A and B are shown apart, each in its own frame.
Chain A
Amino acid sequence: MAELSIGGYTFREVEPRRYVVSVDPGRLRELAELIVREESYLSTISAVDLPKENAIELNYVFWSTKHRVALIVKTRVSRERPVVPTIVDIVPGALGGELEAYDLLGIVFEGNTRLRRGFLVPEDLVSKGIYPLRKDAGV
């Protein structure tokens, strides 16, 4: 399988034109800055709840218009304290993805001042403090 190296991070090709790297949440901002230099935009932030492993996996999917590949950055946070640094100041387009992940799965993006509940979720669930896309939400 092919590999792609960006600023010391090695992305591994998992299927055609999809390159993956796993990092600690603390490395996200550094990596985002490196990826943005490759003429990339952030496609989506996909969060997957994994209650068995007591973790939430975050997938930052970038598309690099220079390399014409998807660069996927995986990171994990614990379910009790799901906090990652925001990348909105580096990639302004991350705003929608961060608001959505906060509202649906309760991931706190530290430094993003616009986070609020009720971005998508109806009022009755917000008042009960339910994050609907968590596996134990019961909705």
Chain B
Amino acid sequence: MRVCRVAVVEIPIGPQHPALHEPIMLRVRAEGEEVVEVAVNTGYNHRGIEKLMERNSWVRGMYLAGRVCGICNAVHTQVYVQGVEKLMGVEPPPRANYIRTIVMELERIHSHMLISAVMAEIVGFDTLFMLIMRDRERVMYLKELVTGNRVHADIHILGGVKRDIDEVRRDRILSELRVIEERLKYYRKVFEEDYTLLKRLAEVGRIRKSEALSHCLVGPTLRGSGVKSDVRFDDPYAAYSEIPFDVVVRDEGDSWARMVVRLEEALVSVGIVRYALEHLPQGPAVPKAFPRAAKVGEVVSRVEAPRGELIYHIVSTGGGNPYRVKIRTPSFLNIINTEFTYLGHRLADVPVIFSSYDPCISCTERVLVVDEKKGVRRYVSLRELARWGTT
């Protein structure tokens, strides 16, 4: 019998995972504890949205775009709507742009809190997970206050928004933001100073600046490696050209830097929402009617989703349907192109590195461990795997 000394670990993140829009199975090959090869496996969450878009009208496409991803639905709708508006020749009123910005930033706050919570859970810090999830409900409440929905905002409409913000709502959001800001500052301090988190995150999954660029990584992953690239800043859309804000960059390039970038960004987002509310332009925000047909042409539309650059390529041949909509989500790049970052790390670091790219929540996924030396095959959860090195 051939004796093989490598253990093969299979992580079916697609199926058993409250997954991303690009659910992926990581096939990890490890020699003892050391990871020697990682390959990704996809296709568990393919829903044929690009094909569906071609069949549906421009307006229906808006709802489909939001349902590409539930966590960052407002940015998906924004990138689609701003592209279609360009093709239709409509310009949203300034007040609508501000309201869109507020919704997108609230979404960024809750998304960054979610991944911080998940990361805390992955490294075994359950109390922090529960605390962040509790405070995240405040953001969900604000989202519901503005849009009427907790998750799928669906506030965009071609040429404006569906709901306006009145004085009462505005004051309520401002007072709630003060509490959220306090909590976010506290969590940032925990991530910066806590011994457990530093032990598990620092120096793990380091990506150099040149590697981040050549492997086409985007969002906090790119900014965590010292590249100043933020679509909101470089290629402003909605109301971002009028709102002052900082682009958070860190040079360390490890999992820790990516998490701290996210928490800093959430704080920046609080500032953006506050500024937008205080400087909300007067005038209409809800359009009375909107066009149904687009001109011939194509547009490359970009926005900064919580996970990075989100890009749609929309082709129109005129009429009531898109000819082609190409969707490229940030996690698609950040997950597929980071196979190299796991190499040389220990098995227990794989979930940490994977989560640091913000793939989405991980709570029920399992890992298939095949130890060929012992001939053992067993399932362990990702959480269990994360604790291998520590117990």
Contacts and interface: CB of A to CB of B under 8 A. Distances in A.
- Judge A-B direct contact (beta carbons within 8 Å): yes
Given A46-B313, A91-B214, A93-B216, A133 B51 contact: yes
B215 interface: yes
Q: Which of the listed residues B51, B227, B313, B332 has the most CB atoms from chain A within 10 Å of its own CB?
A: B313
B59 interface: no
A100 B46 CA distance: 11
Contacts of B217: 41, 93
B48 A132 contact: yes
B379 interface: no
A59 interface: yes
B337 interface: yes
Given A96-B333, A121-B43, A36 B214 contact: yes
B37 to A, nearest CB: 13
Contact of B235 (A68, A72, A97, A133): A68
A120 B43 contact: yes
A92 B279 CA distance: 44
A42 interface: yes
Interface in B302-338: 302, 309, 311, 313, 315, 323-324, 326, 328, 332-333, 336-337
A72 B323 CA distance: 19
Contact of B300 (A18, A39, A93, A100): A18
Contacts of B214: 36, 41, 91-93
Interface string A28-65: 00000000100111111011110000000001010101
Contacts of B147: none
A94 B328 CA distance: 12
Interface string A55-91: 0000101010100101010000000000000000001
B313 A59 contact: yes
Interface residues of A, number: 40
Interface of A is mostly: mixed
A36 B337 CA distance: 16
Interface size bucket, B side? Answer: 20 to 34
A46 B325 CA distance: 9
A57 B388 CA distance: 49
B43 A122 contact: yes
Given A18-B300, A91-B216, A94-B216, A43 B311 contact: yes
B59 to A, nearest CB: 22
Interface string B358-389: 00000000000000000000000000000000
B121 to A, nearest CB: 28
A136 interface: no
Given A41-B217, A44-B313, A121-B43, A92 B299 contact: no
B298 to A, nearest CB: 8
A15 interface: yes
Contacts of B324: 46, 48-49, 133
B234 interface: yes
Given A96-B332, A118-B43, A41 B213 contact: yes
Contact of B216 (A17, A39, A43, A104): A43
A139 interface: yes
B84 to A, nearest CB: 14
B101 interface: no
Contacts of B300: 18, 59, 61, 70, 72
List the 5 closest A-B pairs by CB distance, nearest first.
A93-B216, A46-B326, A44-B328, A96-B336, A46-B313
30 contacts: A15-B299, A41-B213, A41-B215, A41-B216, A41-B217, A43-B311, A44-B326, A46-B313, A46-B324, A47-B326, A48-B315, A48-B324, A59-B300, A59-B326, A61-B311, A65-B227, A92-B214, A95-B336, A96-B332, A96-B336, A96-B337, A104-B50, A118-B43, A120-B46, A121-B43, A122-B43, A133-B51, A133-B324, A137-B51, A139-B51
Interface of B: 42-43, 46, 48, 50-51, 86, 213-218, 222, 227-229, 234-235, 299-300, 302, 309, 311, 313, 315, 323-324, 326, 328, 332-333, 336-337
Interface of A: 15, 17-18, 36, 39-44, 46-49, 59, 61, 63, 65, 68, 70, 72, 91-97, 99-100, 104, 118-122, 132-133, 137, 139
